[in-house]
Amino acid sequence: MARTSHELRSPINSVISLHQLILADLCEDPAEEREFVSQANTAAQKMLSLMDQLIKVAKVSYGSGQINLSSLCLLDVLLEVHQFTHLQAQNRNLRLNIEFPDEAVTVLSDSDWLRQILVSLIDSSIALMQEGTIRVTTGMDTASGLVQIWIEDERSPDSWQEPIDLLKADASDSTHPAALRTTQTIEELKTELNQPPSPGLVLLVSQKLLERMGGRLELLSTPSTPSLTRIQCSIPIASSVA
């Protein structure tokens, strides 16, 4: 609930802030007022999309949502993930290196959920990194019957932890329209609207989904390289499951 309320607070505050500016007649002209209405609509749509996603994940976590487990070629999944993420990395001048596995490697998973998990984890790295390389590698542990997918980026693991107390609200937020006009510009509101879900929520959602598919998610320590973040997604090997 703390993570969810924190994620929803930002678009809600954006809608309130923009509406306060309009109601206080602080718009310079009708064009700016229309722009504020448009931005408020964007924030509302983002909030609705996030709520829909959280509801779907909650249903899956409690067993009422649908998961279609099937044998998947991991190479095909990672090719789709690369298609959805490589342009975003290029736009931020980041290097995305995906080492594709042999086409014989198969996993037992839901194709849509697995793709969404990997894309979300990579997108979070892309959004938070200023420079460097994101690496995606795979390995097979036949003893445990699991395939591991490692996502590494050149940041400290602490960057995945929540930077603030999610239960603490700032009383100064959206208290007075005039104050908002001077402390938060429309460009700052646009920046907020373009922010992806927090790393903490991405990890939590990915962990819940992988567990429902018989896998797990771990944030591994890298003592020899403290500036490296390594996430391990473990997925059952399709051939090892009856």
pLDDT the model gives residue 109: 95
Spatial separation of the C-alpha atoms in residues 147 and 139, rounded to whole Å: 6
Mean pLDDT for the stretch of residues 82-98 = 94
pLDDT of residue 140: 93
Same domain for 54 and 79, yes or no, is no
Are 2 and 98 within one domain?
Answer: no
Residues 127 and 181 in one domain: no
Query: Which position has the higher pLDDT, 9 or 90?
Result: 90
Whether residues 72 and 59 fall in one domain: no
Query: Are 121 and 45 in a shared domain?
Result: no
Q: What's the helix, strand, coil split of the chain in %, to 5?
A: 50, 20, 30
From 35-44, 118-127, 178-187, the region with the lowest mean pLDDT = 178-187
Does 107 share its domain with 150? Answer: yes
pLDDT value for 151? 95
**Selected residue with higher pLDDT from 159 and 235:** 235
Domain count, the chain: 2
- Share of residues in the chain with pLDDT > 70 (%): 79
Residues 45 and 102 in one domain: no
Question: Has residue 5 got a pLDDT over 50?
Answer: yes
Q: In whole angstroms, what is the distance from residue 227 CA to residue 103 CA?
A: 32
Q: Which CATH number does the domain housing residue 77 bear?
A: 3.30.565.10
Q: Are residues 190 and 204 in the same domain?
A: no
Whether residue 44 sits in one domain with residue 110: no
Confidence of residue 29 (pLDDT cuts 50, 70, 90): confident
Q: What percent of the chain has pLDDT over 90?
A: 36
Domain with 231 in it: 68-162+198-242
Q: Return the top range by mean pLDDT from 52-61, 159-168, 206-215.
A: 206-215
Average pLDDT over residues 165-191: 47
Q: Is the pLDDT of residue 11 over 60?
A: yes
Residue 26 half-sphere exposure, CB side, CA atoms within 13 Å? 19
Comparing 50 with 143, which gets the higher pLDDT? 143
Region 70-88 average pLDDT: 95
- Reported residue count of the chain is 242
Same domain, 211 and 99: yes
208 and 234 in a single domain? The answer is yes
Report how far residue 188's alpha carbon sits from residue 165's, in angstroms, rounded to the nearest whole number: 22
Which secondary-structure segment (H or E) carries 100?
Answer: none
